[in-house]
Amino acid sequence: MSLLERAESVARTLSPIAAAGKPGEVNLALLEALASEGLLGEIFRRDGAGYAPTSAMALCLIREGLARHCTEAETAFALQGLGAYPILLAGQPAVVEEWIPRIAAGEVAVGFALTEPSAGSDAASLALSAVPDGSGYRLSGEKAFISNAPDAAVYTVFARTSDNGSRGITAFAVPGTGLGGSRQVLVSPHPIGRLVFDDVFVPSSAVLGDVDGGWKVAMRTLDMFRPSVGAFALGMGQAALDAAVAYTGSREAFGRPLRSFQAVSHQLADVATRLHAARLLVHDAAASYDAGGRTGHLSAMAKLFATETAQVAVDVAIQVHGARALEQGHLLEHLYREVRAPRIYEGASEIQREIIARHLYR
């Protein structure tokens, strides 16, 4: 069984656990199930005394497979990876050992805290401050739209340590205890929220990477995860196409199946073609990342095209279904709410186009 097929199989079994969770809150039972099924172990692999980063391709295959059958499981899986990878990639050994085994086991949730109320797409303009204080730093400010907030046990937090734009940002591993926060209710109720840092002390050992080198940590993580955001979108787009093909193959109108109307079948042909092209872009970006090449523009292309394509796929599927797809609880109603956010987070489509354009003029 391939990794994609394995993820699809696991997703089907996790649907009841996902449905039993409270919307907008961390579902620890789902995290534990992802661990017991071995999927979290695929991205947190032991390597001697430490951990070895997973491949970007494996991340993409798992996310697509989960998304095709259980978007809640996919989101829980992805948020664990995104929040933990800066710790795994750049944390001191003691910090890695403190958190990664528990994250990999699904015992605790982790968050990725970059965005602020006034620093979204322009993430390098963040204002949360980290002021040196003896053996560590004092963090003050706010974060918004943070994964697993305010329930995570630990967050990868990006804060300003000097007034030097993106070169004045440092990454920290910050425990969730002592942080203020609140939930943010979105169109699709994921565990997302605000965090408040009120002179929070973190020791110097919590720095991830170098002081003032946090932007590199963020970009290393995002370059790896952006193709897999495309894979997440692909899973949703493929689920929408599958539903549309099944429905139009059996539903009759005007005395014949909907599939016999070219106005219907040709739309689905276009969607299938775009999804296949998006999958090739995603896999190419992942393979290039794994080979150690410069992949910023390839990751941007993959995320841009796959997320935009998935939006079209879901919209077309709803259109050929008609009004029944708009009923609350219908698969396509669910996907319509889920598919919108990936065009914004981890770099909006406009930011991806900017990355691609800058590469053209290097």
Name the residues annotated as catalytic: 346
| Backbone phi, psi, residue 21, to 5° | -75, 160
Q: Is the peptide bond before 117 cis (omega within 30 degrees of 0)?
A: no
Q: Is the Cβ–Cβ distance between 150 and 109 less than 8 Å?
A: no
In terms of phi and psi (left: phi > 0; alpha: psi -120 to 50; beta: otherwise), the region of 7 is alpha
Torsion of CA 83, 295, 358, 118, to 10 degrees: 0
Q: Is the Cβ–Cβ distance between 115 and 143 less than 8 Å?
A: yes
User: Within 10 A of 326 (CB to CB), how many other CB atoms are there?
Assistant: 12
Residue 333 and residue 323: Cα distance in Å, rounded?
Answer: 10
**Tokens 């209710």 map to which residue?**
185
Please state the three-class secondary structure of 305-357 as a single string: HHHHHHHHHHHHHHHHHCHHHHCCCCHHHHHHHHCCHHHCCCCCHHHHHHHHH
Residue 235 and residue 66: Cα distance in Å, rounded?
Answer: 7
Residue 297 and residue 300: Cα distance in Å, rounded?
Answer: 5
Which of 21, 328, 346 minimizes the C-alpha distance to 187? 328
Max intra-chain CA distance, the chain:
79
